Amino acid sequence: MTTHKKITLLLFLSFFVLINGQDIFISNVQNRKAASLNGKWKYVLDPYSTGQIGFMPIYKNVIPKDKSDRVEYSFEKAQTLWIPGSWNFQKPELQYFEGSIWFQKVFNKIDPSKNKRYFVYVGAANYLSTVTLNGEILGKHEGGFTPFCFEVTRLLKEKDNSLIIGVNNSRESNSIPAKVTDWFNHGGITRDVLLIEEPETFISNYFLSLDKTSLNLESKRIEGKLQLSGTTFPPKARILIPELKVNYEITIENDGCSTFSIDVKNIELWSPENPKLYNVTLEAGNDTINDLIGFRTIETKEKQILLNGKPVFLKGISLHDENPVRKDRANSVDDAKLVLGWAKELGCNFVRLAHYPHQENIVRLADKLGIMLWEELPLYWGINWDDPEVLNKAKKQFTELINRDFNRASSIIWSIANETAPNDARNAFLTSIAEHIKSIDQTRLLTAACKKDQAVDGHPDDEYTINDPIMQHLDIISFNEYLGWYGGLPSECRKKTFRSKIDKPIIVSEFGGGALQGFYADSLTRWSEDYQEYLYRENIAMFDKIDGLAGMTPWILADFMSPLRQLPDVQDGWNRKGLISERGIKKKAFFVLQKYYMTK
């Protein structure tokens, strides 16, 4: 093995040791043998979050022994909530509930076969989860938007297993996000829960990508990394991509990992015009797993973004992970179809999944529809940059997200922060995050949604610059601006310009203004559709002057719930910057952007 290969393998091994920790990461759960644990779960409210301590350990599910026994909760008599789902809109009394709820599901083993391993998998639970089975704590997970799983093989009975998961959605200053966000703090288990069954040794994760150095070669290369989980490993594994005539034997190292590289001829590259996905099968010992994977490269050259070596303009829109019509977190293929359908109609080839990891279904659907994605973590207002624990949490959450979505061609950008003011602690934190991501994934671009500054030299009134020192670690300069909404009127936009001190592609990651769908007035009346329409016109006119503009993601596709927004009869708990109302009706500004994208 060459020294270069040895170093790559070492980096890869240490990465998997890091991510494995005490629990394990399992990717591509949609294509594994699993039983759904979705549906009605019993619940016990724990507003002061004492259910794990003191006199009332709720997760033990104690049942009174006789009529004299004292137990102060009961799953047996408890009501139910639907999982997956935000708890806030299932019962009126839970609308603004912040604290803990303990959920219980009773289930049987998938089949009584021996020599299998079982895992409880949770797609996401906001924010801090304590997972217990049959009275034993399996572990905790922090972070409201990334998946996690715990092995339950040792504790699983044939019948009547009691899975109790405590979820605490209290907002804390050392959390990610921190205390204040402009979105609703949906509590609970918001994505699918599965019981996964695997052989004793199985493929837990793999990364496949197109080697960008082979882009201009006749025969291109697919790079691969494979991770097995088990106590003993077969010496060989296999990867099959029938359409590309790939049937390749992979050598497994002693610790169950492997890196490999395969030459392929006549590969069709993934792009919005041709979102080609290949059937890929991986085999190791008794385990076989299938996936649908696209291959592409994404790079920058001077001020351009290059997809498969060709310049691309990102016609985007921002999005929250909500189905506004159902008033819930999005959690299904149908939810993903609704919002990506709107984005397609708008003429988008790009969507910013703001401000935290969205459900996996939307990323998989974007792969199929040919929509490129920006993904991010809620490193948002008010983060405690000084706390090393917060940095560790951010790295862990990014690792979980990268593990989940590495094989999705649609995902092209990781954004490491949104509207965070530069200072030494924050700059060091974000530099460390950028290095962390690059050490695991060199197949995507890095950005951050920065703030703009008034230019001090040149024309102070009309010119803005992006000065954020974090830019040197990023591939794309992105910035949010709200001219015509949070500052001045839309009529002032046209004379403004933006420039960045570094020559890199630029994305306008947010602009917009609020409008109540159905309220018509004139272009100077706030909250009217006419004002928003005019604001979009004037902003778009201003963007055409930005040197190096490579894309935009206006704020936002649809109205979304936010407790910060309380103006009666206009907001009523909704941020109204959507181009579409919560009932799915398009506002006038939708058509302004649509027209621009259709001709771009």
Q: Closer CB to ligand GCB, residue 323 or residue 575? A: 575
With b meaning 16 or more CB within 10 Å and e meaning fewer, what string describes 419-432?
Answer: bbeeeeebbebbeb
* Closest alpha carbon to 85 in 379, 395, 331, 437: 331
Q: Closer CB to ligand GCB, residue 500 or residue 562? A: 562
For 23, 41, 59, 183, 443, the CA distances from 164, given in Å and listed in that order, are 18, 9, 6, 28, 38
Tell me the helix, strand and coil percentages in the chain, rounded to 5.
25, 35, 45
* Closest alpha carbon to 289 in 351, 189, 350, 204: 204
CA distance 26 to 198: 11
Per-residue HEC secondary structure of 54-122 comes to CCCCHHHCCCCCCCCCCCCCCCCCCCEEEECCCHHHCCHHHCCCCCEEEEEEEECCCCCCCCEEEEEEE
Q: Closer CB to ligand GCB, residue 182 or residue 492? A: 182
Answer for which of 252, 575, 579, 587 binds ligand GCB (CB under 6 A) is 575
- Per-residue interface string for the shown chain with ligand GCB, residues 404-433, x marking contact by CB under 6 A: --------------xx--------------
- Both structure tokens of 383: 């983060």
Identify residues 308-367 at the interface with ligand GCB (CB under 6 A).
Answer: 355
Q: In whole angstroms, how close is the CB of 30 to ligand GCB at the nearest point?
A: 30
Identify residues 100-159 at the interface with ligand GCB (CB under 6 A).
Answer: none
Q: In whole angstroms, how close is the CB of 304 to ligand GCB at the nearest point?
A: 26
- Both structure tokens of 124: 């996401």
Q: In whole angstroms, how close is the CB of 598 to ligand GCB at the nearest point?
A: 26
Neighbours of 254 (CB within 10 A): 7
Answer for which of 197, 475, 510, 559 binds ligand GCB (CB under 6 A) is 510
Amino acid at position 580, single letter: I
Q: Closer CB to ligand GCB, residue 207 or residue 555? A: 555
Identify residues 436-475 at the interface with ligand GCB (CB under 6 A).
Answer: none
Residues near ligand GCB (CB under 6 A), total? 9
Q: In whole angstroms, how close is the CB of 513 to ligand GCB at the nearest point?
A: 9
Q: Closer CB to ligand GCB, residue 320 or residue 444? A: 320
Q: In whole angstroms, how close is the CB of 274 to ligand GCB at the nearest point?
A: 33
Please confirm whether the linkage preceding 127 is cis (ω < 30° from 0): yes
- DSSP run (H or E) holding 5: helix 3-20
CA distance 25 to 2: 29
Q: In whole angstroms, how close is the CB of 597 to ligand GCB at the nearest point?
A: 21
Answer yes or no whether residue 574 interacts with ligand GCB by CB under 6 A: no
Pairing verdict, β 246-251 and 236-241: antiparallel
Q: Closer CB to ligand GCB, residue 87 or residue 485? A: 485
Pairing verdict, β 477-480 and 463-466: unpaired
With b meaning 16 or more CB within 10 Å and e meaning fewer, what string describes 255-283?
Answer: ebbbbbebebeebebbbbeebbbbebbbb
Q: Is 587 helix (H, G, I), strand (E, B) or coil?
A: coil
Q: CA geometry: angle at 342 spanning 340 and 347, to 5°?
A: 95
Q: Closer CB to ligand GCB, residue 73 or residue 482? A: 482
Answer yes or no whether residue 511 interacts with ligand GCB by CB under 6 A: no
Q: In whole angstroms, how close is the CB of 577 to ligand GCB at the nearest point?
A: 5
Amino acid at position 153, single letter: T
Q: Closer CB to ligand GCB, residue 475 or residue 510? A: 510
Q: In whole angstroms, how close is the CB of 473 to ligand GCB at the nearest point?
A: 20
| Residue whose CB is nearest to ligand GCB in the complex, by number | 182
- Both structure tokens of 521: 């007035």
Answer yes or no whether residue 182 interacts with ligand GCB by CB under 6 A: yes
Q: In whole angstroms, how close is the CB of 417 to ligand GCB at the nearest point?
A: 10
Answer yes or no whether residue 577 interacts with ligand GCB by CB under 6 A: yes
Answer for which of 480, 500, 517, 532 binds ligand GCB (CB under 6 A) is 480
Q: Closer CB to ligand GCB, residue 269 or residue 330? A: 330
Answer yes or no whether residue 576 interacts with ligand GCB by CB under 6 A: no
Q: Closer CB to ligand GCB, residue 267 or residue 506? A: 506
Q: In whole angstroms, how close is the CB of 425 to ligand GCB at the nearest point?
A: 21
Q: In whole angstroms, how close is the CB of 430 to ligand GCB at the nearest point?
A: 16
Instruction: Kindly tell me the sign of the dihedral angle through the C-alpha atoms of 64, 66, 70, 73.
Output: positive
Q: Quick one: how far is CA 455 from the chain centroid? A: 34
Q: Closer CB to ligand GCB, residue 28 or residue 175? A: 175
Amino acid at position 94, single letter: L
- Per-residue interface string for the shown chain with ligand GCB, residues 364-403, x marking contact by CB under 6 A: ----------------------------------------
Answer for which of 206, 555, 574, 596 binds ligand GCB (CB under 6 A) is 555
Q: Is 133 helix (H, G, I), strand (E, B) or coil?
A: strand
- Both structure tokens of 278: 């290949």
Q: Closer CB to ligand GCB, residue 212 or residue 576? A: 576
- Both structure tokens of 373: 């994605």
Chain residues in the site for ligand GCB (CB under 6 A) = 182, 355, 418-419, 480, 510, 555, 575, 577
